[in-house]
Amino acid sequence: MEHHNTNQFTNYLEAMGIFKKIFFVLIITTLFGCPREEENCNDFGSTVRVDDMITLTPLQVIYNQGDEIEMKLEIPAVNTYYGNELNLFQLTNDYFATLSISQNRLTTGNQLTFIKGSLGTTLSTFELPYNFDTQKYELDVKIKLNAVGVYSLYTNETILINGITKCNRYFMHTKIQGSVNNMVEFTVQ
């Protein structure tokens, strides 16, 4: 009788060993065999220049204090800016693009009313939410010119659509449409 119990115990241990091996193989296969979203960590390959993406209207030489101008920027999620057609929203899953302007002269001392988007973490950054209806990242801000003086804006703006992790970053460099030698100059009196 003792020999029969020993055989059952031995069979049980062998079955557990096989079960552990199968379980281990399934776990390894799951961890390493699943397709993962490919990440682009080559920031140079994901940096592009697209001029005139930002509009400032009406763009004129002289404004009166209290005049209003409108700054707009739209970035289609599906575009060919980087060569091949890409859907930046699907690649990055980023719900907000960030616009960094080279100077905060427009935002300092003036009243900002956001139609689409918001001010970022500093006076020189804006957040462009992704609009699912238009499939674009959008910024629309009305700027009431309260600050009197000369505005000399060197326009070399950067847009960042950040990836799921530290990779999949897409940079765009642009300027304000109508700038001359990357400068927009006007006076508020």
Alpha-carbon span 48 to 44, nearest angstrom: 8
Number of CB atoms found within 10 A of residue 135's CB: 13
Q: Strand, coil or helix: what is 89?
A: helix
Task: Give tens-digit pLDDT for 37-52.
Answer: 455 565 555 889 999 9
Q: What architecture is the 47-188 domain classified under in CATH?
A: Sandwich (2.60)
Confidence of residue 12 (pLDDT cuts 50, 70, 90): low
pLDDT tens-digit profile of 126-152?
999 999 999 999 999 999 999 999 998
Radius of gyration in angstroms for the set of CA atoms belonging to the chain, rounded to a whole number: 28
Residue partners of 119: CB distance under 8 A and separation at least 6: 107, 112, 125, 126, 127
Q: Indicate the domain borders of the chain.
A: 1-35, 47-188
